Amino acid sequence: TGTRKQTAGFNMAAFDAQDHSHRRFNPLMDEWVLVSPHRMKRPWKGQVEPPFDFSSIPRSDKSNPLTPGATRSNGSTNPEYTTTYVFPNDFPSLTHDMPQPEAAEAVEDTPEARLLRLDGVQGECRVMCFHPWSDITLPLMTREAIRAVIDEWTKQLAELGQRFKWVQLFENKGQAMGCSNPHPHCQVWATSFLPNVARTKDRTQREYFAKHKTQLLMDYIRLEEKQKVRTVVENEHWLAVVPYWALWPYETIVLPRRHVLRLIDLTDEEKNALADVLKRLLSKYDNLFQTSFPYSMGWHGAPTGPGFDSEDWSHWQLHAIYYPPLLRSATVKKFMVGYEMHAEAQRDLTAEQAAAKLQALSDRHFYQDTLDSAEK
């Protein structure tokens, strides 16, 4: 009895999830995450990232291929755009007209047939600029400008989704996430196949729906609305939380409260509310370490493609995921190496601890006053 117990000769304290190692299950990805909160106490002598200086980025630089009026490497010149701007990726990973392998004929069950598999791919890759200015990011944009970004996301999904099975909208922000160009932008990759992550999420949500007759993420939303310990920002239509099973230090998932399959299904009011949630969430990210917070963000919704509306995708729930690498400060990030690569994903602080830090921050950007003064 009591708060401590004797086990195999050792004096063991009662388990505390906020201080002791444990595993948490990610039902979306069907995998476990090792959580080791006590590791935040260890000193750090590893790599540090260079601090970000907002004032170091020029508002307009014609040598930057993403700015209005700039000439890109293929000789194309950008228009003098004043809002969002989308163009074909000059170095695409996928194209819709690339040569395809010949259809494989039925072969015998041999090691070669089993182990050396190949499949053709088709797709389209685009770059989408959020704003004409290079010295601004989503949290520093107005809600109206963010709404224009959401509208363009929806337009891209609607167009490419007619031809491709999966349309991945993603933003890599910051050098720590491999993005060398500071101009605010994202990418759109449309593919003829369902990628690994999408395929896994389709399976897990489908299996959950078949067993429980309700959507996995709708059940999760209700849990978070009830517990309120991992919520970072929210409004009438959206909820942004550090998921219980988060892997990256300050990972968040952004969810519509209503059952929604895809971005194209959002109402006008929900789009405005999404702009509000994104501005507040991303401002908190930047405020955490007083920097331009790096992350990789992606939208996941029900698959698309020819005839997609004739299939039942009701097990899906639209969501965006933010994966930020910073852990201890603006210059120290988490590395996915060693045990994480060879055994199982691991994080150092709990989802509740991360959410508490973000909750305590203002949702007004720390650089907003400086930016406003510069514009006067």
Write out the catalytic residue numbers.
185
Helices (H), ranges, 41-183? 111-115, 143-160
- Cβ neighbours, 10 Å, residue 227: 12
Angle of helix 196-212 relative to helix 216-227, nearest 10 degrees, comes to 80
Q: Which conformational region is residue 292 in: left (phi greater than 0), alpha (psi within -120 to 50 degrees), or beta?
A: beta
**Count of CA atoms in the C-beta half-sphere (13 A) of 169:** 30
Q: Which residues is 31 bridged to in the sheet?
A: 26
For the chain, helix (H) and strand (E) counts, in that order, are: 8, 16
Q: Is 316 exposed, middle or buried (0-12, 13-18, 19+ CB in 10 A)?
A: buried
**Residue 130: what are its φ and ψ, rounded to 5°?**
-80, -30
* Whole-Å CA distances, 212 to 215, 221, 225: 8, 15, 20
- Cβ neighbours, 10 Å, residue 343: 9
| Segment holding 356, helix H or strand E | helix 351-359
**Count of CA atoms in the C-beta half-sphere (13 A) of 39:** 15
Encoding tokens for residue 245?
């099973």
* Whole-Å CA distances, 74 to 90, 155, 184: 7, 25, 21
- Cβ neighbours, 10 Å, residue 248: 22
- Cβ neighbours, 10 Å, residue 65: 19
